[in-house]
Amino acid sequence: MKKTVQIFIGFIASTILSASVTQTIDDSFFQNDFQKIIRFEMLHFNKEGVLDANSAKTLDAVIKRAQEIQESSTIKVTIVEHIYKAADYYPKHMRNSLSYVNKLSGNDDANATYAKKIEKRFMDSGIERAKLYLYNKRGEVLGFSDETPESAALSNRVMLSIYVLKPEDIDSDKDGVFDRYDRCVGTPRGSKVDKNGCPIDSDHDGVLDYKDKCPNTPPKGVIVDTHGCPLDSDHDGVVDYKDKCENTPAGINIDPDGCPLKQTLKLHFKSNSEKILKSSYGEVKRFAEFLKKNPGYKVKIIGHTDSIGKAVVNMALSMKRAESVKEAFVAEGVDASRIVATGRGELDPIKSNRTKEGRKANRRIEIKLFH
């Protein structure tokens, strides 16, 4: 007897627990802000309490739809049970006023399990019980005529609907695009984004605006570095897409197009001689390399001296030194036809010849490039 009482108490406890976790529909349910409501064909059970073929397909379709929607949205699924109970329709009539009442009333207990069966199918398919809402309308709404037991039995049905809650308008990365539309979550704050919340590249240089330190790089197709800035391969201060004279040697004065202006080569000669000292060979090689890489240029080499000594001697010396530089360029592989050598002697001083420093500056080899 004691054992029987324990079993009975356990049964009651499990029943209460089961009921406590099953959610029902009340007025508060409809106070939610729903984005859309999806309704489906009614489900019918046969005499054995099994869904008919069409209803089984409908249930499968509802479950699949719920699984898909819940991946991106919050849903609530209503399972509304309708049961035909003659006594509810004719409470003031004697039961024998309907010849088939007794036949139908015996199914009430079985019908009460329909919604539970559907609820279990949803949970077995991965839909949480917290998203399922049951409601028993008993005999409030007839689905079919009650003129015959067969017709009245068709009122035993379950109605399913999916309620999709309107998502909260949250913009986690503060880019102006709500999370539910944002395909690029985590965009740095202040970044310009498109309608999908993804950073944009306004100048189409391959570097997103929030990383681009050189916005509005023109024209399209310009090669840029990782900061979105156009390259300056020869480091002459003129970016490549504007540079009309590539590979300009470092230290060469240039015009706005990146082309060299008149230059003074840092060459040293033996005193009163046109012989170039070995210490100046590096400068010769450097400029000769530039000429070879830029075959479109011709070069004029101009020799200058200070005013010490006779002018005629200085003129001859400046010419010889210019010729010596030309020979050095040719030896490095520059075509002689591209080189013109001339001497100006002491005619074009750039400093005063009265000081040692001034005379040193006036003794020079100038290079002038032209096309």
Longest dimension (CA), the chain: 149
Q: Locate 242 and state its tokens.
A: 């504007």
Cα–Cα distances in Å, from 315 out to 74, 157, 297, 319? 95, 118, 27, 6
Nearest to 114 by CA among 149, 79, 70: 79
pTM: 0.41
Peptide linkage before 260 cis (omega within 30 of 0): no
DSSP state of 193: B
Radius of gyration of the chain (CA): 48
Q: Locate 41 and state its tokens.
A: 């064909």
Distance in angstroms between the alpha carbons of the first and the last residue of the chain: 119
Distance, CA of 309 to CA of 296 (rounded, Å): 39
Distance, CA of 300 to CA of 332 (rounded, Å): 16
Q: On the CB side of 169, how many CA atoms lie within 13 Å of its CA?
A: 4
pLDDT the model gives residue 246: 78
Domains of the chain with bracketed CATH: 20-165 (3.30.1330.60), 263-370 (3.30.1330.60)
pLDDT the model gives residue 137: 72
Burial classification of residue 351, based on how many CB atoms lie within 10 Å of its CB (0-12 exposed, 13-18 middle, 19 or more buried): middle
Instruction: Provide the b/e sequence for 223-243 (b: ≥16 CB within 10 Å).
Output: ebeeebbbebebebebbeeeb
Q: Locate 243 and state its tokens.
A: 């540079």
> Alpha-carbon dihedral of residues 94, 98, 99, 103, nearest 10 degrees?
-90
Residue identified by tokens 């050095």 is 328
Amino acid at site 179: D
Spell out the per-residue pLDDT of the chain, length 371, in tens. Answer: 444 444 333 433 333 334 434 577 777 887 888 989 999 988 988 777 788 899 999 999 999 999 999 988 889 999 988 766 655 555 444 444 444 444 444 444 444 577 888 999 999 999 999 999 988 776 555 555 555 555 555 667 788 999 998 877 778 788 888 877 788 888 888 888 888 888 888 888 888 888 889 888 887 778 888 898 998 888 888 888 888 887 776 667 788 888 877 888 989 999 899 999 999 999 999 999 988 988 888 999 999 999 999 999 999 999 999 999 999 999 999 999 999 999 999 999 999 999 999 999 999 999 988 87
pLDDT the model gives residue 144: 52
